Amino acid sequence: MEIIFKKKKEALKNQVALKSLDLDEKPEDFHPEIHAGLLEDKFITISPDCVRCNLCTEECPVDAIQEATPNRPARILDNCVKCEICAQSCPVGAVHVMESVSQVDDDVEFRIKDIKTPHRKLRMKEIMVDPAKCKSHGLCTQFCPTGAITVKEGEVAVIDKEACVGCGACASVCPEQAITLERDLGPVLKTRELLIDQDKCVQCQVCEENCPVDAIKAGDDLVTLDEDKCILCEVCSTKCPVGALKLKARLPDES
C-alpha cells in the first residue's frame, strides 16, 4: 500500500509562519524560505487491528512498546530503534513498517509506503483454561483473531485447539488470568545485514557507545560484531560519522 499526497509550497510556508508565533516571532518579521530537497525516513506503527496479545511487547529487545490493554492497542514509543522484530512477531499483521519520503520541488509531495515484512513461525503447543478461575467474562472472545474461544453464560471458556494459533490474546486480556499458553515462536528472520568497512573506521567508538544491545565493539583498530546479539536496528549505521557501517537489505536467496 502506498499513499501519496501533495501540498502547495505556499501553503507550507504559511504553516511555518504560523509556527513562528510559538517562538514569539512577529508574523511581519518572519519570512520563511522553503528550499528544494528530499527527506527519507522510516517509522513503525500499530493499527487498531491489534488483538492485545502483547507478543510485540514481549519480543521488543529495547522495551520500546507500551503494552496493550483491552481499551487500547499497543503503542510504539520514542526509543524505538526500528529493528522490525515487532512487525515480524505480530500474529495478525497489525504492526506496520512504514517508509516515508518528503520531496520539495515546485510543490511538496509526501509518500508513505507500507514495507512488506516476513513473519516468524508461530504455533500453539498447549493452551488450558483453569475452571476455578474462569468467571465467564467473555473478554477473551472479543480479541481472539480466529474465533477459537466460546464462552456460554455461566460456563467455563472452551478453546478449539485446532483453530488456536497461539497468539496469546486471550491470556493477555483475561482479568482472572485463567488461561495459560505454551507456544512455539520461531527465530527472528534476518532480512538485512550490517556491513563494516574497517578501512573507513576511525575508532571513535560511537557505534559501541550507542548500540542498544551491546553487540558491537571498537578497539585494537578493528570493529567486531556479535551477530547473535545484533538486532539489525538502525542505530550504529545512522550514527557512524564516517559511514563505516551500512545496513543493507538482504536478497531473498541470501537469507
pLDDT band at 40 (very low <50, low <70, confident <90, very high): confident
Q: Which residues, 6+ apart, have CB-to-CB distance to 162 below 8 Å?
A: none
Taking all residues of the chain, what is their mean pLDDT, rounded to a whole number? Answer: 90
Of residues 5 and 79, the one with the higher pLDDT is 79
* Residue 1 CA neighbour count, 13 Å, CB half: 6
| Angle made by CA atoms 115, 116, 117, in degrees to the nearest 5 | 110
Looking at residues 40-62, what average pLDDT do you find?
Answer: 96
Assign 183 to helix, strand or coil. Answer: strand
Give the whole-number percent of the chain exceeding pLDDT 90: 75
pLDDT at 132 over 70: yes
Answer whether residue 87 shows pLDDT above 90: yes
Fold of 122-185: Alpha-Beta Plaits (3.30.70)
Query: Does 50 have pLDDT greater than 80?
Result: yes
* CA-derived radius of gyration, the chain: 24
pLDDT grade for 255, boundaries at 50, 70 and 90: very low
Q: What is the pLDDT of residue 20?
A: 63
C-alpha 158/C-alpha 149 separation (Å) is 6
Amino acid at 5: F
**Distance, CA of 156 to CA of 145 (rounded, Å):** 19
Q: How confident is the model at residue 193 (pLDDT cuts 50, 70, 90)?
A: very high
| Average pLDDT, integer, range 123-138 | 96
CATH number of 2-115: 3.30.70.20
Element (H, E) at 17: helix 9-19
d(CA 115, CA 44): 10
Each residue's pLDDT tens digit, 100-120? 988 888 788 888 999 999 999
The Cα–Cα gap between 70 and 219 comes to 48
192-254 folds as Alpha-Beta Plaits (3.30.70)
pLDDT over 80 at 31, yes or no: no
107-115 and 2-8 strand pairing: antiparallel
Structural contact between residues 243 and 222, judged by C-beta atoms closer than 8 angstroms? no
Rounded to an integer, the average pLDDT of 14-34 is: 64
In angstroms, what CA-CA distances link 70 with 46, 85, 96, 141, 199? 15, 23, 20, 12, 52
Q: What is the pLDDT of residue 252?
A: 54
| Residue whose C-alpha is closest to residue 134's, from 123, 119, 149, 121 | 149
pLDDT tier, 121 (very low <50, low <70, confident <90, very high otherwise): very high
Q: What is the mean pLDDT of residues 77-101?
A: 96
CA-closest candidate to residue 191, choices 118, 246, 244, 121? 118
Q: How many CB atoms lie within 10 A of CB 67?
A: 14
pLDDT score for 94: 97
pLDDT at 198 over 50: yes
Domain with CATH 3.30.70.20 in the chain: 2-115, 122-185, 192-254
**Mean pLDDT of the 40-64 span:** 96
Q: Find the distance separating the first CA and the last CA of the chain, reported in whole Å.
A: 24
